[in-house]
Structure 1
Amino acid sequence: MISDKAYIWVFLPGLAEPVVCGVVAWDGVEYVFRYGKSYLARPDAIPLSIPGRPLGELTGDPYTLDNELSGALRDAAPDAWGRRIIQREIAKTIDPADGRRKSEPGEIDYLLGAGSDRIGALDTSESPHIYSPLPRHASPLEDALKAAEKMERGEELDEKLDAALNHGTSIGGARPKVLFQQDSDFWVAKFSSSSDTVNMIAAEAGAMKLAARAGLNVADVDVLKVAGKDILLVRRFDRQTTTDGTVTRRHMLSAMTLLDLDEYAVRTGHASYLELADLLRKYARNFERDGRELFQRMVFNILIGNTDDHARNHACFWDGTALNLTPGYDICPQPRLGYSADLAMAVGDQGRAARLSNALSEAERFGFADDEASECVGAMRQTVESHWKKAFSAAGMAAGDIEYLTKATLLSPSIFD
């Protein structure tokens, strides 16, 4: 661990400038968070999470966090790809006292190093008095693409490519990506990976376009060709530009945080669509809308074979009073050859089994009557059957890759068992 303390700043709803809200520190045994007295005195202060979760009550008492900085702070920290970049940067630093590299990064180091354009409305600083955002590096996407490819191969980066890569390290997921802004629009640019077996850029673009056609509320996407390579552009929904050009941020909580899970529990299938629906019923501003939307996303994931629908790939906006389901993101078929599959989250009374009957088994938890749910599933199935090949082809997927997905992934016979 290099840093043992970080001050947490939050962009409150509707405000373009952040305020300091608390501090997280390593006390030698565990990570502890406290809300600041000045923040608690604000009439517009909001808890950073829902009641009953870490940081969910505005109190001067300390919150003991787990070794991952659980809850809302973990959502503001980088995931696999961002951590690789931060680890790489720290590995280059030398302690002048002994000529050795500094110690291994701790969770606070990752939190501080994630960059000030991170997803959501939180940011960090080493000062409780002055908000000093980390500088942004506006680099061409071609440079970022080259840098990501070289890093995947373990090659050294020159100063120009290094700057291009070190922006957007807070984004979740393991795939190479960067954040960038164009005029008043904010985007995530996602690159292909050397481990891809099919064109995953076209697969995700096609799936997102198909999801919108099926009636889901999803982020806008586009495919851009740079240096002969496809790049997926995903419009960010956590930033809003007002008519006078002011940019505000929206605070977000992942389903992992809402369900009070850690990374291990998420990756081992302990998350549940059913429990997330129950939370929406309790805290959503409009459960009739969001409960049904969540059900449809779950069904769509079954239809297209998206088994990477884990709890970090679902999120809600939180304004201190109510939850609103964010637009869908990271919706993409996961190529496989096996007959049957499980989703990453529990679906119904058959657990995580990716079957439409399983989705229908607990449809009332999402606000549906039985006949309504069946009609919804039938309509979504018809849309996917009728349009998926055209959607994926239009996104740039080759005929061979489409044929590969046809074998077992898209509309697998197993989902109708």
Structure 2
Amino acid sequence: MIHLMVHIRFPDGNSVIVGDLAVAEPDPGRGGALEGEFRYRRAYLDDPRAFSIDPEHLPLEPGIFEARRPRAGVPAVFEDSLPDDWGRELLTRKHRLTRDEQRVPVFLKLVGLNGLGALGYEDAGPPRGRRTRRWTLAKIAAQTKAAAQAEAAVPDLPALAAAARRVLEGEDPARNDLDLLFRAGSSLGGARPKVLIYDDGIHWLAKLPVWRDTVNFVRIEAATLKLACAAGLEVPDCRVVQTGNTEALLVRRFEIADPATSGGRYHRISLATLLGAENFYNLGYADIAEVLRRVSDRPQTDLMGIFRQAVFNAMVGNTDDHLKNFSMLHDARGWRLSPGYDLLPDVMRREEHVLSFGLRGNRPDYAALIELGRQTGLSSARMMGTIEEVYRAVENWESVFRSYDVPEADMEFLRPTIKRRLLRCAPESIDHRPGTPSP
């Protein structure tokens, strides 16, 4: 059994114990299914700063919450603390995990107080008493550790990129490689290598290039974030930096509270968790809007925000719009939609979006955007005005991409799909559509 104390860092940098998480050993009679439970600590429930860490599934109240997720064994909000493919590969190699040990509770124990977002985990040992399906979680008197760890001010990005390349190529990395990557916080989420940067009082997420990239992801993503900003989306600051013979994209971390030196965090939860989306799902932007109505403390702003992002994704071709790529943050005012992140055109030529745009499915056109606007509860004037604003920004994509020195070959690769999408999604008020002569 694994028994973890769950910590949370508030925006002011103070940390408290939220509750206890316990997961039984895999049940061989049920294909290795995991049973897990969580409960809030009484001290946390009585804390005036307390809030539900998952407002849809873990209300702020006493009692035991069963995970009901036999593959993971923990409520999904805790899995949001974990890295995806890249980080789990590093954890597996660093700790030499067997296949049976590569389980979510084990990863949480290894990530400890350095997980993604505001939550951290501390091994509390096995609970006392007889183990049953609804065991009693032991009382732990230990105080929280300081969870804020300073990143290297100027890490050796070329060395990190080389170490990441060796891991991605399947080489057996040297211990120095793994130590270097972990010191730089490289157990972060996503399928591509990332490290943490602390420079001039700002925390950054550095996205490293991959040797097998067929396009310049670094410059394309930087340009897409700039384009999104021009389209009215809230996005984090970013910049491109040189890393030896290659480059990296620095993206400002929006879950870090100001001032950065406080070590404070904003709690973050994915829309996948809020919607209970597991594995394959048939959900859409309208489902996100429903969650925002229930959870957001500024619903009108967030509903407008998710609609604007949906329109942008449709026009630029951000087809990798799965629910892990949307989050909510808890700040001083409560829950809000996070800034947009992981925005890219359709570089993989998927054509269909992960999320649907209403009854018209996963290949949006102008009619689908209008339908989504109605489902989101926007007035006709607001939805049509937003579509036109985003269109005007995205049709200028080539100028923005050139300003970020995106290679011409990459722009040539992207041009047909973006042109086709702009034509399909062009508002009726636009006279000059792509492919037609100017009047």
TM-score by length of 2: 0.83
Structure 2 contact 12–262 (Cα < 8 Å) conserved: no
Instruction: Say which of 13, 20, 30 aligns to 2:17.
Output: 20
Instruction: Say which of 210, 230, 239 aligns to 1:193.
Output: 210
Provide closer, same or farther for how the CA distance between residues 171 and 328 of structure 1 changes in structure 2, counting only shifts above 3 A.
Answer: same
Structure 1 contact 81–173 (Cα < 8 Å) conserved: yes
Q: Specify the SS of the correspondent of 1:211.
A: helix
Q: 2:360 & 2:266 partners in 1: Cα distance?
A: 36
Q: Which residue of 2 aligns with 1:98?
A: none
Task: Please report how far the alpha carbon of residue 90 of structure 1 lies from its aligned counterpart in structure 2 after TM superposition.
Answer: 2.1
Q: Which residue of 2 aligns with 1:144?
A: 160
Q: Specify the SS of the correspondent of 2:64.
A: coil
Deviations 1:2-27 (A, max 9, x none): x7222110113x43121111121222
Q: Which residue of 2 aligns with 1:41?
A: 46
Structure 2 contact 82–116 (Cα < 8 Å) conserved: no
Q: Which residue of 2 aligns with 1:314?
A: 326
Structure 1 contact 86–110 (Cα < 8 Å) conserved: yes
Q: 1:247 & 1:137 partners in 2: Cα distance?
A: 11
Structure 2 contact 329–336 (Cα < 8 Å) conserved: yes
Structure 1 contact 114–169 (Cα < 8 Å) conserved: no
Provide closer, same or farther for how the CA distance between residues 145 and 37 of structure 1 changes in structure 2, counting only shifts above 3 A.
Answer: same
Provide closer, same or farther for how the CA distance between residues 362 and 30 of structure 1 changes in structure 2, counting only shifts above 3 A.
Answer: same
Instruction: Say which of 160, 185, 190 aligns to 1:173.
Output: 190
Residue 288 of structure 1 pairs with residue 293 of structure 2: no
Residue 5 of structure 1 pairs with residue 3 of structure 2: yes
Task: Please report how far the alpha carbon of residue 125 of structure 1 lies from its aligned counterpart in structure 2 after TM superposition.
Answer: 1.1
Please tell me the residue identity of whatever aligns with 2:230.
R
Q: Within 5 Å, which residues of 2 pair with 1:200-211? A: 200-211=217-228
Residue 61 of structure 1 pairs with residue 32 of structure 2: no
Q: 1:237 & 1:134 partners in 2: Cα distance?
A: 16
Deviations 1:134-161 (A, max 9, x none): 9766342222211111111122333433
Q: Specify the SS of the correspondent of 1:335.
A: coil
Q: 2:52 & 2:284 partners in 1: Cα distance?
A: 24
Residue 124 of structure 1 pairs with residue 136 of structure 2: no
Q: Specify the SS of the correspondent of 1:59.
A: coil
Task: Please report how far the alpha carbon of residue 170 of structure 1 lies from its aligned counterpart in structure 2 after TM superposition.
Answer: 5.0
Q: Which residue of 1 aligns with 2:388?
A: 378
Please tell me the residue identity of whatever aligns with 1:205.
A
Q: Which residue of 1 aligns with 2:424?
A: 415
Please tell me the residue identity of whatever aligns with 2:169.
R
Q: Within 5 Å, which residues of 2 pair with 1:260-409? A: 260-262=276-278, 264-265=279-280, 269-318=281-330, 322-336=334-348, 341-386=351-396, 388-409=397-418
TM-score by length of 1: 0.87
Q: 2:309 & 2:67 partners in 1: Cα distance?
A: 34
Task: Please report how far the alpha carbon of residue 413 of structure 1 lies from its aligned counterpart in structure 2 after TM superposition.
Answer: 6.1
Residue 230 of structure 1 pairs with residue 247 of structure 2: yes
Q: Which residue of 1 aligns with 2:230?
A: 213
Deviations 1:340-384 (A, max 9, x none): x22111212212223232121131232321232122212211211
Alignment identity in percent? Answer: 27
Question: In angstroms, what is the RMSD of aligned CA positions?
Answer: 2.5
Please tell me the residue identity of whatever aligns with 1:9.
H
Task: Please report how far the alpha carbon of residue 65 of structure 1 lies from its aligned counterpart in structure 2 after TM superposition.
Answer: 4.1
Q: 1:63 & 1:235 partners in 2: Cα distance?
A: 36
Instruction: Say which of 171, 174, 179 aligns to 1:158.
Output: 174
Structure 1 contact 254–314 (Cα < 8 Å) conserved: yes
Structure 1 contact 90–105 (Cα < 8 Å) conserved: no
Q: Which residue of 2 aligns with 1:240?
A: 257
Q: 2:99 & 2:53 partners in 1: Cα distance?
A: 32
Task: Please report how far the alpha carbon of residue 410 of structure 1 lies from its aligned counterpart in structure 2 after TM superposition.
Answer: 5.2
Q: 2:227 & 2:108 partners in 1: Cα distance?
A: 35
Task: Please report how far the alpha carbon of residue 391 of structure 1 lies from its aligned counterpart in structure 2 after TM superposition.
Answer: 1.5
Q: Specify the SS of the correspondent of 1:261.
A: coil
Q: Which has the larger radius of gyration?
A: 2
Gaps of 5+ in 1: 94-100
Gaps of 5+ in 2: 26-33, 125-139, 427-439
